[in-house]
Amino acid sequence: MHTPSVSTPPSPVLLLDGIVKDFPGVRALSSVSLKLYAGEVTALVGENGAGKSTIVKILTGIYQPNQGHIKIDGQEVTLSTPKEAARLGITAIHQETVLFDELSVAENIFIGHSPRTRLGLIDWRKMNNDALNLLERIGATIKPTALLRDLGIANKHLVAIARALSIEARVVIMDEPTAALSHKEIEELYILVNQLKADGKAILFISHKFDEIFRIADHYTVFRDGELVGDGSINKIEPTELVRLMVGRSVEGVFPPRTEKLGKPILQVQHYSHPTEFSDISFSLRRGEILGFYGLVGAGRSEFMQALFGITRPSSGTLSINGHPISPKCPADAIAHGIVYVPEDRGKQGAITALSIVDNVALPSLQTTSNKGFVRMASEFALAREYTQRLELKAAALDQPVGELSGGNQQKVVIAKWLATQPAVIILDEPTKGIDIGSKAAVHAFMRELASQGLAVIMVSSEIPEIIGMSDRILVMREGRQVAEYEREDVTPETLVSAAAGIEKYSAA
Amino acid sequence: MSGLTSNNASVMPDRLRGQLFRIIASWEFLLLGVAILIFLFNVQASPYFLDPWNLSDATYNFTEKAMIAFAMALVIISGEIDLSVASIIALVSTCMGFAVQLGFDTPMLIGVAIIVGAACGAFNGFLVAIMGLPSIVVTIGTLSLFRGIAYIVLGDQAYSGYPKSFAYFGQGYVWWVITVEMVLFTVVALLFFLLLHLTSFGRSVKAIGNNPTAALFAGIRVPRVKFILFVLTGIMSAIAAICLTSRLGSTRPSIAVGWELEIVTMVVLGGVNILGGSGTIFGVFIAALVMGMVTFGLGLLNVPGIVMSIFIGLLLITVIALPIIIQRTRQRVAS
């Protein structure tokens, strides 16, 4: 599998030690360490919310740690700005590359450090030549003068890598670089990673895909809930052990008990498909049931939910509620049929942050709170009061703008606004993402309470404890397909992660 | 859904601050102060200002524009803009003139005007709301298109010969110095006040302007609301065209040139956020009075028109810059 790396590990190029990062009310990282070695790939593994992106932002100078040391070649440094991080040779290649679509390939490679003529103007000829050399070195056949927006995502990655080479980066961070790539492009990327290794770069590779971690990484580091839970050499660990480290923790006890009796089926979905995002999803949902949807980011779960809610249209398949087939053409249709959707992106899709709590809660219920088209403030306030109290919303007043509330309280407003429509089916997309523990518990308790009153709940979540703790049944999606379905009793964190990441594929290979 | 645990969380008040505080702290209140100052200044500056007939005449400065401004306020609050309003006036007026040649009487002329105005608005609305094109581009296009049609029909000619009864809208008086237009202006202001502030439609408009995606997700039929707003603006332009044509007694293709900018100025001066999401009809109402009085006052002082336009331009920039500067200063102080 792997030739063991150098017998005694040399001193790391980059060393993070005792890094602590606090956000208001949340400790994102508590005393984590990370070591990156020249010419070696370190895989950073962890669930969503484990602190992976926080560490990337610290490394690229976007966040400042509250405590801890960062050393490059044994010298202590501060990465106070992104520019400073780049000067010290740290560069990041993101999932969706942050480059400039309207500039040429060469300009993208050299932006910020373009070669100049004596007059101080950009030396275009030199820049294009240098760009060509860099691109040839990594085996890319891209014209330096081409516009970036005309390239595919794989070629954009190549440009980002050329840029990393041009600033003579010593540390290259690759944040889920294969998430949007095809199979062939991924193979080409692996070759490149090996070239970067041969060039002596220290590489931090963030990925959810176990097959690629075991294929290209030399070391692993596992974060869980902002803490370092394990690291070591990749050839000394089994995939199952890595999964255990990643998810391993007790999930019992903290979640409300399940509903004893499920009601009649209310929602039936058959062969729901979309041209690009998902295909052939079928299930049936009963009153009082919480159906969990698990999968990796990009598995098509949100896209599928939005199709149920009428935001996108399916290309085929049927949807029926209480036995009546429906085809929602817009959210208003779906709401009229009793299906509501609490989106993942609170700020953009869920809440209107500039408007007050009462305005937000009343918005989808305007038809019921108004009288012949005229709003009735009294009934709006009554409605807002009723539902926000049930969710234990903490706010100064009901006319406070939602944007002033904490994330957890904003989410309560969004959930309240949907419950106020008295739906039959509620879809919650990552309902507790980025909110504090206390709000999480309140949301969980409330979800269970609603289910016990006969509401059918669909919950999309990427958090293993939440999905196992809350769901009566779990459906796993991978790459737009429904790949597994489990009763709650039959599921373990390991089986879920394996199904979502496609680990069978790895063990078969 | 009864039977839920009632929480003993501390009782949350409905409102954070009293209504009175909100009124005093508002832009509209400030603007009202400005209006009073300008009024007093005008009284001091010219002995002719307070003459009731002079004042009555002066209202023509703003009544027609303001009627459109109320509809424009809703469009801007929804996050869009309609720059074709003055051209709709030209096209509506031309169509009325054409209808006169065919022997139409006054009620039929009104009908023609409303239909043409609504059709122009529907065209804008179709392109913006249904096709999803940016309104600033669409309405710059229709600004040229609608007036272009008027020029093709009329060339350097003018239509006149409107029926006697038609003069009532732009020249008639309801009682003493109270003109028909003043009454229309007030009624329209009241209707738009009800529409924006007291109906669920108005609530949807604000929601869309603040966050169109969240509004869509909240079940608001965003395209339908925007379409209605553009049709409404077309109809208000038609009503303004009726008044203006009636007042002038004739139609030339250059009628109401440049009004769209004065109307947008009026709306923004009234405290409507040019980026959408917030604004009040009361603010636009006061802004219309302010602009009318400034124009009238400067006219009494024999200030040439070009200076007035400089003044209006500076006013617009100040009004847009002021809240932003205040906001930045606050943030700097806070941090």
The DSSP code for A339 is: E
Q: What is the pLDDT of residue A1?
A: 43
Confidence band, pLDDT 50/70/90 cuts, at residue A267: very high
Residue A447 lies in a domain: no
> How many domains is chain A built from?
3
A349: nearest CB among B194, B201, B217: B217
Contact at CB, A352 and B200, closer than 8 angstroms: no
- Residue A401's closest chain B neighbor by CA? B16
Is the pLDDT confidence value at A251 over 70? no
Top pLDDT among B9 and B314 is at B314
| B15 Cβ under 8 Å from any chain A Cβ | yes
Contact at CB, B215 and A363, closer than 8 angstroms: yes
Is the pLDDT confidence value at B194 over 90? yes
Give CA–CA dist A357/A405, Å, rounded: 9
Tell whether A199 and A57 lie within a shared domain: yes
Alpha-carbon A235 to chain mean position: 28
Give CA–CA dist B269/A227, Å, rounded: 54
Which stretch of DSSP H or E encloses residue B235? helix B222-248
Q: Using a CB-CB distance cutoff of 8 angstroms, which residues of chain A are in contact with residue B3?
A: 453
Minimum distance, in Å, between the CA of residue A286 and any CA atom of chain B: 18
Give CA–CA dist A178/A193, Å, rounded: 12
Top pLDDT among B310 and A97 is at B310
A389: nearest CB among B9, B214, B220: B9
Minimum distance, in Å, between the CA of residue A256 and any CA atom of chain B: 14
| B307 Cβ under 8 Å from any chain A Cβ | no
pLDDT tens profile B202-240: 999 999 999 999 999 999 999 999 999 999 999 999 999
Minimum distance, in Å, between the CA of residue B66 and any CA atom of chain A: 24
Q: What is the pLDDT of residue A218?
A: 93
Three-state SS string over A268-308 comes to EEEEEECCCCCCCEEEEEECCCEEEEEECCCCCHHHHHHHH
Give CA–CA dist A136/A146, Å, rounded: 15
Contact at CB, B5 and A398, closer than 8 angstroms: no
Q: Using a CB-CB distance cutoff of 8 angstroms, which residues of chain B are in contact with residue A335?
A: 219
Q: Greatest CA separation found in chain B?
A: 77
Which residue, of A216, A247, A278, is where some domain finishes?
A247
Contact at CB, A453 and B3, closer than 8 angstroms: yes
Confidence band, pLDDT 50/70/90 cuts, at residue A249: low
B210: nearest CB among A343, A352, A364: A352
Q: What is the pLDDT of residue A258?
A: 75
Tell whether A52 and A197 lie within a shared domain: yes
Tell whether A57 and A198 lie within a shared domain: yes
Q: What is the pLDDT of residue B231?
A: 98
- Give the rounded percent of residues in chain A with a pLDDT score beyond 90: 28
Q: Greatest CA separation found in chain A?
A: 80
Is the pLDDT confidence value at A248 over 80? no
Top pLDDT among B335 and A119 is at A119
Residue A446 lies in a domain: no
- Residue B19's closest chain A neighbor by CA? A399
Tell whether A334 and A381 lie within a shared domain: no
Give CA–CA dist B294/B73, Å, rounded: 21
Query: If DSSP codes are grouped into helix, strand and coil, which group holds residue A138?
Result: coil
Residue A480 lies in a domain: yes
- Residue B14's closest chain A neighbor by CA? A398
| B333 Cβ under 8 Å from any chain A Cβ | no
Contact at CB, A349 and B199, closer than 8 angstroms: no
Residue A258 lies in a domain: no
Tell whether A207 and A272 lie within a shared domain: no
Q: Using a CB-CB distance cutoff of 8 angstroms, which residues of chain A are in contact with residue B198?
A: 374-375
Which residue, of A381, A400, A422, is where some domain finishes?
A422
What amino acid occupies position A224? R
Minimum distance, in Å, between the CA of residue A21 and any CA atom of chain B: 21
Question: How many CA atoms are closer than 13 Å to the CA of A370, on its beta-carbon side?
Answer: 20
Top pLDDT among A232 and A99 is at A232
Tell whether A333 and A360 lie within a shared domain: no
**DSSP secondary structure string for all residues of A366-403:** HHHH-BTTB--HHHHHHHHHHHHHHTT---S-TTSBGG
Minimum distance, in Å, between the CA of residue B204 and any CA atom of chain A: 8
Give CA–CA dist A38/A58, Å, rounded: 20
Is the pLDDT confidence value at A238 over 70? yes
Tell whether A89 and A127 lie within a shared domain: yes
Confidence band, pLDDT 50/70/90 cuts, at residue B333: low
| B10 Cβ under 8 Å from any chain A Cβ | no
Contact at CB, A363 and B207, closer than 8 angstroms: yes
What amino acid occupies position A332? A
Q: What is the pLDDT of residue B18?
A: 63
Tell whether A327 and A369 lie within a shared domain: no
Q: What is the pLDDT of residue B21?
A: 67
What CATH number was assigned to the domain covering residues B49-323? 1.10.3470
Top pLDDT among B118 and A56 is at B118
Minimum distance, in Å, between the CA of residue B18 and any CA atom of chain A: 11
Contact at CB, B207 and A352, closer than 8 angstroms: yes
For residues A213 and A234, the answer to whether their CB atoms sit within 8 Å is: yes
pLDDT tens profile A425-484: 999 998 887 676 667 777 888 888 889 888 999 999 888 888 888 999 999 998 889 999
Beta bridge partners of A70: A16, A77
- Residue A357's closest chain B neighbor by CA? B14
Strand-strand pairing, A171-175 and A14-23: unpaired
- What average pLDDT does this structure show over B61-67? 94
- What average pLDDT does this structure show over B88-105? 94
Is the pLDDT confidence value at B89 over 90? yes
- Residue B206's closest chain A neighbor by CA? A355
B4: nearest CB among A335, A374, A390: A390
Is the pLDDT confidence value at B2 over 80? no
Q: Using a CB-CB distance cutoff of 8 angstroms, which residues of chain B are in contact with residue A400?
A: 16
| Chain A stretch 201-260, residues whose beta carbon is closer than 8 A to a beta carbon of chain B | none
Contact at CB, A352 and B199, closer than 8 angstroms: no
| Chain A stretch 377-416, residues whose beta carbon is closer than 8 A to a beta carbon of chain B | 381, 385, 388-390, 392-400
| A330 Cβ under 8 Å from any chain B Cβ | yes
CB atoms within 10 A of CB B48: 11
**Domain enclosing residue A489, as ranges:** 263-338+424-433+452-509
Q: What is the pLDDT of residue A254?
A: 63
Confidence band, pLDDT 50/70/90 cuts, at residue B20: low
| B1 Cβ under 8 Å from any chain A Cβ | yes
The DSSP code for A373 is: T
- For chain B, the structural domain boundaries read 49-323
For residues A128 and A106, the answer to whether their CB atoms sit within 8 Å is: yes
Is the pLDDT confidence value at A179 over 80? no
Is the pLDDT confidence value at A364 over 80? yes
Q: What is the pLDDT of residue B7?
A: 41
Minimum distance, in Å, between the CA of residue A357 and any CA atom of chain B: 10
- What average pLDDT does this structure show over B23-37? 81
Give CA–CA dist B226/B246, Å, rounded: 30
Is the whole-model pTM more than 0.80?
no
Lowest mean pLDDT among A26-30, A190-194, A348-352, A410-414: A26-30
Interface test with A, best of B8, B11, B14 (most A CBs within 10 A): B14
Interface test with A, best of B8, B10, B12, B278 (most A CBs within 10 A): B12
- What average pLDDT does this structure show over A300-321? 91
Chain position carrying tokens 């490149």: A192
Tell whether A53 and A143 lie within a shared domain: yes
Residue A391 lies in a domain: yes
Most confident of A9-18, B80-89, B160-169: B80-89
Confidence band, pLDDT 50/70/90 cuts, at residue B166: very high
Between the CA of residue A139 and those of A39, A92, A125, B172, B207, what are the distances in Å? 19, 20, 21, 82, 51
Tell whether A91 and A223 lie within a shared domain: yes
Strand-strand pairing, A265-273 and A316-321: antiparallel
Q: Count A/B contacts: CB-CB distance under 8 Å.
A: 115
B12: nearest CB among A311, A354, A398: A398
Contact at CB, B217 and A331, closer than 8 angstroms: yes
For residues A319 and A281, the answer to whether their CB atoms sit within 8 Å is: no
For residues A63 and A79, the answer to whether their CB atoms sit within 8 Å is: no
Minimum distance, in Å, between the CA of residue A435 and any CA atom of chain B: 20
Confidence band, pLDDT 50/70/90 cuts, at residue B27: confident
Confidence band, pLDDT 50/70/90 cuts, at residue A348: confident
Q: What is the pLDDT of residue B209?
A: 95
- Give the rounded percent of residues in chain A with a pLDDT score beyond 70: 92
Is the pLDDT confidence value at B251 over 90? yes
Is the pLDDT confidence value at A253 over 50? no
**Beta strands per DSSP E along A146-264:** 171-175, 202-206, 219-224, 227-233
| B213 Cβ under 8 Å from any chain A Cβ | yes
Tell whether A18 and A139 lie within a shared domain: yes
Q: What is the pLDDT of residue B3?
A: 36
Alpha-carbon A33 to chain mean position: 23
Q: What is the pLDDT of residue A5?
A: 47
Q: Residue A487: which CATH number? A: 3.40.50.300
- Residue B201's closest chain A neighbor by CA? A373
Tell whether A86 and A206 lie within a shared domain: yes
Top pLDDT among A509 and A213 is at A213
Contact at CB, B13 and A398, closer than 8 angstroms: yes
**Of A37, A32, A14, A13, which Cα lies nearest the Cα of A22?**
A32
Q: What is the mean pLDDT of chain B?
A: 88
Beta bridge partners of A23: A26
